[in-house]
Structure 1
Amino acid sequence: MTGDAVAPIRAFVMDLDGLILDTESLCLEVARTVLAQHGKTLTPEAQHAALGRRPLCAWRGVAEAVGLDVTPEQLFEESEPLLSARWSEAKVLPGARRLLQHARAAGLKIAVATSTSRATFGKKTADKPWLLELLDAVTCGDEVENGKPQPDVFLEAARRLGDVPPSACLVFEDAPSGVEAAAAAGMRVVAVPSMLLHGSTTGFPQAQPNAASGLIQILPSLLAFNAPSWGLPPFADVVEGVIPLDYPFRIRGTVVKGFGRGSKELGIPTANIDADSLRAALAEAVTGIYAGFAAVGHSDQVHKMVMSIGWNPFFGNTEKTAEPWLLAEFDEANFTSLEALIERIHKDGSEASAALALPPLSALKDDPFLQPPPPADAQAGAAAAAGAAAAVTASGAAAVEE
């Protein structure tokens, strides 16, 4: 990956929804509610049709995908009050704040080019003053004639930045329509596919690392952005190969029989958390390896932990899962299959253990979230932990740098 053969990067232009803020999870919940009122179900095809579009265009695509004979205007009117009441719930996605602050410290200009309206943008960012302070310009979907995949919003963003030509802008997008729009504007693009796509790059063009415009690179998350490859200083926050998160994840669930990359198949004592209890918690979790601390059941003992979050292709997972490995000695059968995978898991464990012994990550061991539940919950908790299951609480996750 290089930016040396063409104009040096002078500005980042960021999409908002699904890239900086996890608004897409809220939109999905509301879309399901609205469609259910019309006797329809939100399908994956409908989700893809809406991704990255302005609200009316998104609803038009959804209605067509599910065969609903209702105008997009009516669907918008039904959904907007539900969304307006919940925009403040949108969380910042992992790596977004870190990347923006790093770009600002490196002297780059920063703009947001979003399909959302100006009024809705204000609601989404009302409780995030730090984000507004980092931005030099914002262009919203109702401020240009044509929405994505037309280039209008990106060209206007560059114009508002002042003296930065499109060729010197690096765009970050999560949707194919946004990538197409930025490429049409003559900008280079880094795609971070929406979590709604389950990590799939379907719909995205082939990345051309040395191109003067268009899709240059596809990343699993903003945490994977390699700043030096773009002529920027390296990030200074990495601890023993681990990136501390601005907002640690705190998740709780019941352990079920492992079907990820550990468990008895590999001789490594990992286990999976049941999907139902984690569905909301994992909505904003990008796939990857996380380091943190965990407690089991009603014990007051806290263990170092390394955890895989994602869709494991080897076992054909259809839902995002969390598979923690507590870095302590437990009795477990020792198997010797899939040697390369086992070696990598142990590498993750070693890096996580070293990083968790150092600040700022070491302080997370004392997180109140990890304390045993109050006595009133003890009986119910014991029932949930019966048999081979055990409740696991994980806190302070940090991404392990690849």
Structure 2
Amino acid sequence: MSLVKPLKKLVSCVILDLDGTLLNTDGIVSDVLKVALVNYGKQWDGRETHKIVGKTPVEAAAVVVEDYEIPLTKEEFLTQITPMFSERWSNIKALPGANRLINHLKSHGVLMALASNSPKSNIETKISYHQGWKESFFAIVGGDEVTAGKPNPEIFLEVAKRLGINPSNCLVIEDSLPGVTAGKAAEMEVVAVPSLPKQSHLFTSADEVINSLLDLHPEKWGLPAFQDWVAGILPIETWHIGGPVVRGFGRGSKVLGIPTANLSTTGYSDLLTEYPSGVYFGWAGLSNHGIYKMVMSIGWNPYFNNTEKTIEPWLLHDFSEDFYGEELHLVIVGYIRPEVANFSTLESLIAKIHEDRRVAENALELPLYSKYRDDPYLKSPLLQNNL
């Protein structure tokens, strides 16, 4: 069960953005633009992503055409890439926490609506691939149904009008600055879930900024609380990752005094965009040693200010030697907390890491989590020979 949080504001309706908030569209956008720009001798590297997040399709196309000097009008470019997006809609995954939130609010009879700058028909097509979504929303408003998209507040005011509810009683959940601006201009409460990394400091107008939907506490807004936290940890759909250890007792380990076993992020780009930065836990199988409890961070390691997202498992065991190059298999079963933006001192970081260790060690004794120690994925062929 989640901890009780102080009430911020009593609301009776939740209005959700779609792309980047409920659906993991970042990878789709990059894939399409990489292919489209090659035709003009250009290379999409993602550095302009912040300019198009939250924009209407026409506005986003205009940014790309101008920045990459594409010899087309924005309308022509949009016409060219729209079919490429349509082909990929069926493969867009829900972001972690999206299904959980929708099912939770629906089961408690909370009014929900969708408000997206995308055309209405595109919205309905995208959500049709996610079971139960369409019937969960009492209203769906697309950018083509209003005279101006976000950051104009019109789309949110239209939702409130259709629901017959006062705007001040609505909670907006958005991933982009245009969306947050629109929600506040509509005089609604706004929770920002930034879809781009290291952008939280820009969302000063939001009433709350969270790392992911996993970190949303509805009770802060007078809505029913989630009841699925167990021993201070959120069980998640189990996932597996593995590969050779690229750094055992690496830079962070030497400073922090813990045996982190960094994995290469090569081949895990989709996973790293899908899962929010934060601290997770589960079981680790190390080919030459055995199976251990494990707590793991995904993110940028704020103390060391990493420029690339990393996967850093901490094997909860006292090792006396390095384990470079060993095969490591991980079974991740739960989520502890979001990545903290920064720590004032190294000591405060170390204290937090050891707190995570205690939480993980205790939780992994529970049958809900301990059963995964027998997951066949942990037992690589080499490890099986050593057991």
TM-score, normalised on structure 2? 0.84
Q: How does 1:1-400 map to 2 (within 5 A)?
A: 8-44=10-46, 46-161=48-163, 163-194=164-195, 197-201=196-200, 203-204=202-203, 206-207=204-205, 215-245=206-236, 247-257=237-247, 262-297=252-287, 301-331=290-320, 338-372=346-380
Q: Contact 1:19–1:173 at 8 Å: present in 2 too?
A: yes
**Distance change in 2, residues 1:329/1:260 (3 Å):** closer
Provide the secondary structure at the position in 2 that maps to 1:340.
helix
Cα deviation, 1:172-192, whole Å, max 9, x if unaligned, reads 000001111111222111101
> 1:210: which partner in 2?
none
Cα deviation, 1:147-167, whole Å, max 9, x if unaligned, reads 111112212222222x32111
Q: Contact 1:252–1:277 at 8 Å: present in 2 too?
A: no
**Distance change in 2, residues 1:319/1:259 (3 Å):** farther
Segment of structure 1 superposing worse, 278-287 or 36-45 = 36-45
Amino acid at match of 1:199: K
Provide the secondary structure at the position in 1 that maps to 2:200.
coil
Amino acid at match of 1:235: F
Instruction: Give distance in 2, aligned partners of 1:46 and 1:234.
Output: 37
Q: Contact 1:47–1:62 at 8 Å: present in 2 too?
A: no
Provide the secondary structure at the position in 2 that maps to 1:360.
helix
Instruction: Give distance in 1, aligned partners of 2:302 and 2:362.
Output: 28
Instruction: Give distance in 2, aligned partners of 1:277 and 1:263.
Output: 24
Q: Contact 1:309–1:323 at 8 Å: present in 2 too?
A: yes
Segment of structure 1 superposing worse, 142-151 or 337-346 = 337-346
Instruction: Give distance in 1, aligned partners of 2:78 and 2:298.
Output: 34
Instruction: Give distance in 1, aligned partners of 2:299 and 2:124.
Output: 32
**Distance change in 2, residues 1:76/1:298 (3 Å):** farther
Amino acid at match of 1:346: H
Q: Contact 2:248–2:259 at 8 Å: present in 1 too?
A: no
Matched residues, percent identical?
42
Segment of structure 1 superposing worse, 320-329 or 94-103 = 94-103
Instruction: Give distance in 2, aligned partners of 1:260 and 1:39.
Output: 40
Cα deviation, 1:231-250, whole Å, max 9, x if unaligned, reads 234321111111112x3333
Instruction: Give distance in 1, aligned partners of 2:180 and 2:160.
Output: 16
**Distance change in 2, residues 1:151/1:264 (3 Å):** same
RMSD: 2.6
Q: Contact 2:11–2:223 at 8 Å: present in 1 too?
A: no
Amino acid at match of 1:278: Y
Segment of structure 1 superposing worse, 78-87 or 259-268 = 259-268
Deviation at 1:77, TM superposition (A): 2.6
Cα deviation, 1:289-331, whole Å, max 9, x if unaligned, reads 01122323488x5432211011122222111111011223422
Deviation at 1:368, TM superposition (A): 4.7
Q: Contact 2:249–2:258 at 8 Å: present in 1 too?
A: no
Instruction: Give distance in 2, aligned partners of 1:80 and 1:170.
Output: 31
Deviation at 1:369, TM superposition (A): 4.0
Instruction: Give distance in 1, aligned partners of 2:136 and 2:370.
Output: 29
Provide the secondary structure at the position in 1 that maps to 2:14.
strand
Gaps of 5+ in 2: 323-344
Deviation at 1:276, TM superposition (A): 1.8
Segment of structure 1 superposing worse, 32-41 or 215-224 = 32-41
**Distance change in 2, residues 1:45/1:262 (3 Å):** closer
Deviation at 1:262, TM superposition (A): 4.0
**Distance change in 2, residues 1:48/1:229 (3 Å):** same
Q: Contact 1:55–1:116 at 8 Å: present in 2 too?
A: yes
Deviation at 1:22, TM superposition (A): 0.4
Deviation at 1:41, TM superposition (A): 2.7
Instruction: Give distance in 1, aligned partners of 2:137 and 2:288.
Output: 45
Instruction: Give distance in 1, aligned partners of 2:87 and 2:374.
Output: 34
Provide the secondary structure at the position in 2 that maps to 1:244.
strand
Amino acid at match of 1:323: E
Instruction: Give distance in 2, aligned partners of 1:263 and 1:242.
Output: 25
